[in-house]
Amino acid sequence: MSEYIKAGKFFYHYLKKYKWSFLIALIAVVFGTYLQVKAPEYLGQAIGELGNYASEYLKAQAIAAKTGTAMATVSKAAFFDVLWKLLIFYLLTSAAQFIYTILFSRIVGYGTNKMRTGLFGKLERMTIAFFDKHQDGEILSRFTSDLDNIQNTLNQSLVQVFQNVALFIGLIIIMFQQNVKLAWVTVASTPVAILFAVFIIRQAKKYVDIQQDEVGHLNGYMDEKISGQKAIIVNGLQEETITDFLKHNDAVREATFKGQAYSGMLWPLMQGMSLFNTAIVIFFGSWLVVNDGMALGVGLALVVTFVQYSQQYYQPLMQISSNFTQLQTAITGARRLDEIFDQPDEIRPTNGIILNALERGVALEHVDFSYNPDKPILKDVSLTVDKGQMVALVGPTGSGKTTIMNLLNRFYDVNDGSIKIDGQDIREYDLDSLRSHVGIVLQDSVLFTGTIKENIAFGKPDATQDEIEAAAKQANIHEFIIKLDDGYDTQIDDENNIFSTGQKQLISIARTIITNPSLLILDEATSNVDTVTEAKIQRAMEMAISGRTSFVIAHRLKTILNADKIVVLKDGEIIEEGNHHELLKQQGFYSELYHNQFVFE
């Protein structure tokens, strides 16, 4: 039940802005429902008037035959008067339905648009830790599968839910106004129907929840395998990949089947209860007419009216039951979106200090950090870097080099100790101000859909053409760009990927240079390229580093021989520190690593 309450709060949050449209739509629903439940009364009256007309006609015919005179005229006015009222009621019902359908469509369109915007905005405020722990495909499924389910359900089922709830309540009121005994007979089977429905709904909910979670896992798996398709082909793992896909797909199929099977039971159950209920109403109504001394026309009209009510009484339950699977997917979608909204935002200090420039340097003081509590990554790391110095971080995989980069930019915060810029803890700086002075070139470069010019100016959208070209020249990519037919206006997208890995890296370096960061971090920028491209990237790196405080993470030691300071990390601890020549003289871990690399090269 708590999930339904939470889903209700979620929908209220996004739809409350349209409360006046909602109010008008609800009034139209209530009015249309009143007309709908009132119509059977006029239908009963029409049949009653038709019975009266037939009785009067037969009586007039008998008198005429007996007296030998002309048959008296029997008026049909009362019958036609009721028919006109019935027609007007049906026309007004259609008008009311048109009004609330249009209003609900508008509410749903704008509401789901707000949900989509809110979800994307939330993702942009969340910590890197969330993205590190969740697959891209699973996150994307919240935008596609879950939001689509919510939109489709609200479009197709929201009107019906309100309409049927109003119809259900209206029918109960009208029935008790017409005849209390027949009303009690009509509603007597309701508790039995509700007990069956509650049991089925609980089972269906469980499997619909599993279904949506498994769809998220399947999307994550597909995204991962599509991204790594080259590695799969190279290693000949296509069959194994298909086998694993079938396991995920079977999990989705099994959950979907069980959810649909249970949901599918509701409609025939309610249909059966409706037919059974109608039979009881006919039987009891006929008994009541015979034994309660009613006039034949009045009794016939009453029975016909309550047969209509009996069929309409279960109609709301049948309609809601037929839409239950869709309603449950929307509730599950709201739960899964709420899981995103419940995630913490990045921690931003209130009235944070504005960092104008790096004046003195960077210091790591007794830093401890772990991604998981039981597995420490950095242990009591202390390091001082003066302004303008180039510091290289080297060490085996998993030693904590990239983790230091994550901490410097506050992708994560330290567990213990502190990182300071100009003597101030970086957690006290305004986060946007801090990051505007930190430039990062990652190992895997990313280009966005758009022009080359837009990609280089990504971090500085107001950059001039001269600034863009100057950054490209420093990154050694300008000559390649101007040889393209459209130059800096060349479009980049998935279908027009004209860049090698090295050229992407050079554009990434140009993108960092144009922001003119005070602190530059290069995370193994040359690890995925050939020696010729490496030389180009190395020259670009030297241009970018010149005059800036910088951290360079490198496996290829020849790229950091001129570093002012080389810090050697192993198992999360600093084991050696000094420049290249000082570390060679120590004949320690760095010296061994250096000589081993150059033997192979």
Q: What is the pLDDT of residue 70?
A: 65
**Where do the CATH 3.40.50.300 domains begin and end in the chain?**
361-600
Per-residue pLDDT at 425? 92
- For residue 157, the model assigns a pLDDT of 75
| φ, ψ of residue 456 in degrees (nearest 5) | -65, -35
Cα–Cα distance for residue pair 459/439, rounded to 1 Å: 10
Q: Which helix (H) or strand (E) holds 245?
A: helix 238-291
Residue 465 CA, distance from chain mean position: 38
Q: At residue 368, does pLDDT exceed 90?
A: yes
Q: Give the span between the Cα atoms of 463 and 473, in whole angstroms.
A: 15
**What is the predicted pLDDT for the residue at 600?**
46
Burial annotation 486-498 (CB, 10 A radius, 16+ → b, else e): eebebebeeeeee
More confident residue, 58 or 519: 519
pLDDT of 57 over the 50 cut = yes
- Nearest CA to 327 among 573, 572, 3? 3
pLDDT the model gives residue 363 = 92
Q: Which of 120-124, 539-543, 547-551 bottoms out in mean pLDDT, i.e. has the lowest?
A: 539-543
In terms of Cα–Cα distance, which of 186, 193, 250, 259 is closest to 218?
250
pLDDT of residue 448: 83
Residues 230, 232, 238, CA angle at the centre, nearest 5°?
130
Query: The whole model's pTM is what?
Result: 0.68
Which architecture, in CATH terms, is 2-341? Up-down Bundle (1.20)
Give the CA distances from residue 190 to residues 8, 186, 270, 276, in Å, rounded to whole numbers and listed in that order: 25, 8, 10, 12
CA pair distance 276, 71, nearest whole angstrom = 46
Mean pLDDT of 292-309: 70
> Is 60 exceeded by the pLDDT of residue 599?
no
Q: In the prediction, which pLDDT does 526 show?
A: 61
Q: What is the average per-residue pLDDT within 376-396?
A: 90
Q: What pLDDT, in 10s, does the model give residues 174-210? A: 788 878 888 888 888 888 887 887 787 777 777 777 8
Query: Rounded to whole angstroms, how far apart are CA atoms 555 and 221?
Result: 30
Percent of the chain at pLDDT above 70?
A: 86
**287 SS3 class:** helix
Cα(396)–Cα(585) distance, integer angstroms: 20
Task: Report the C-alpha gap between 335 and 206 in whole angstroms.
Answer: 13
Cβ-Cβ contacts under 8 Å for 313 (sequence gap 6 or more): 168, 171, 172, 175, 186, 187, 274, 277
Q: What is the CATH number of domain 361-600?
A: 3.40.50.300
Instruction: Please give the order of strands across the beta sheet that includes 375-386.
Output: 375-386, 361-372, 416-421, 424-425
Q: What value does the mean pLDDT take over residues 34-40?
A: 71
Q: Are 171 and 309 in contact (CB under 8 A)?
A: yes
Comparing 275-284, 313-322, 423-432, 467-476, the range with the smallest average pLDDT is: 313-322
Highest mean pLDDT among 136-140, 149-153, 202-206, 316-320: 149-153
- CA gap 7, 282 in Å, rounded: 41
Tokens of 94: 């259609």
- Neighbouring C-beta atoms of residue 18, cutoff 10 Å: 18
Most confident of 247-256, 261-270, 420-429: 420-429
Could you give the CA distance from residue 112 to residue 148 in angstroms, rounded to a whole number?
9
Strand 549-553 versus strand 390-394 pairing type: parallel
**What pLDDT band is residue 525 in, cutting at 50, 70 and 90?**
low
Angstrom CA distances, 393 to 279, 399, 525, stand at 84, 10, 13
| 392-433 residue pLDDT tens | 898 888 888 888 888 988 888 999 999 999 989 999 999 888
266 pLDDT above the threshold of 80: no
Higher model confidence: residue 456 or residue 223?
Answer: 456
The Cα–Cα gap between 382 and 218 comes to: 43
User: Measuring CA to CA, how many Å separate 222 from each of 132, 238, 418, 444, 447?
Assistant: 17, 13, 40, 21, 22
Instruction: Indicate where the chain has its CATH 1.20.1560.10 domain(s).
Output: 2-341
- Cα 145 to chain centroid, rounded: 7
> Distance between CA atoms of 187 and 174, rounded to whole angstroms?
12
Q: What is the pLDDT of residues 272-299, one digit of tens each?
A: 887 888 888 788 877 777 776 666 666 6
Phi, psi of 553 (to 5 degrees): -100, 125
Helix, strand, coil fractions of the chain, as percent rounded to 5: 70, 10, 20
Q: Where are the beta strands (DSSP E) in 517-590?
A: 519-523, 549-553, 565-570, 573-578
Helix (H, G, I), strand (E, B) or coil at 98: helix
For every residue of 105-166, DSSP letters joined together read HHHHHHHHHHHHHHHHHHHHHB-HHHHHHS-HHHHHHIIIIIHHHHHHHHHHHHHHHHHHHH
Distance from C-alpha of 337 to C-alpha of 24, rounded to nearest angstrom: 29
Q: Give yes or no for residue 547 having a pLDDT over 80.
A: no
Band (pLDDT 50/70/90 cuts) for residue 531 is low
What 8-state DSSP symbol labels residue 376? Answer: E
User: Residue 579 CB: number of other CB atoms within 10 A?
Assistant: 14
Q: Which residue has the tokens 């016909």?
A: 304
